Amino acid sequence: MKQRMFLVVIALTSLAMVNVGCNIISPEPSIEQIKSDLIGEIISKGDLAWQFAALSEFKEITIVDKIREGNTIEYDATMKLQDIYTDEMYTAEVILIYQKSGTHWDLFSILTMSLRATLNGSSI
C-alpha cells in the first residue's frame, strides 16, 4: 500500500511539474529588447529615412500605449534618436508589432507614424 501511494505521489508531482513548465510565459519585450530588435531595421517617412545602427543612437524610448491580444502586442512608441555620424537629433513615432513565437517575442512589423529632425527638442 505504501509503495502504491508513493508512486501516486510521484506521478502527481511529475504531472504538476510538467504543467508548470508548459505554462511558463516569457515576459513581454523590455525596452532593451526593443532597442536590440531595431538594430538593422529601417524606418522612413516622406524624404527622411533612418537605419538603426547602434544602441548608442537611442537617447530615449517612451511607450505611449500598449495593446495586447493573444500572441500579439502592439506598442505605440516615441523615440528620441541621435545620428552617430552627424550628432543630429531626430524624433520618431512608431507602432511596433510583436508576435509570440514559441516562448519568446519577435518583432513582426514597424509602422512609422512620423520621423522628423529636431533642434533643442523641437521639430525643424
Q: Which CATH number fits domain 26-123: 3.10.450, 2.60.120, 3.10.260, 1.10.3470?
A: 3.10.450
The pTM score is: 0.75
Q: Give the 3-state secondary structure of 10-75.
A: HHHHHHHHHHHHHCCCCCCCCHHHHHHHHCCCEEEECCEEEECCCHHHEEEEEEEEEEEECCEEEE
pLDDT in tens, 1-52: 666 655 455 655 554 444 444 446 678 999 999 999 999 999 999 999 999 9
pLDDT in tens, 56-112: 999 999 999 999 999 999 999 999 999 999 999 999 999 999 999 998 999 999 999
Structural domain boundaries of the chain?
26-123
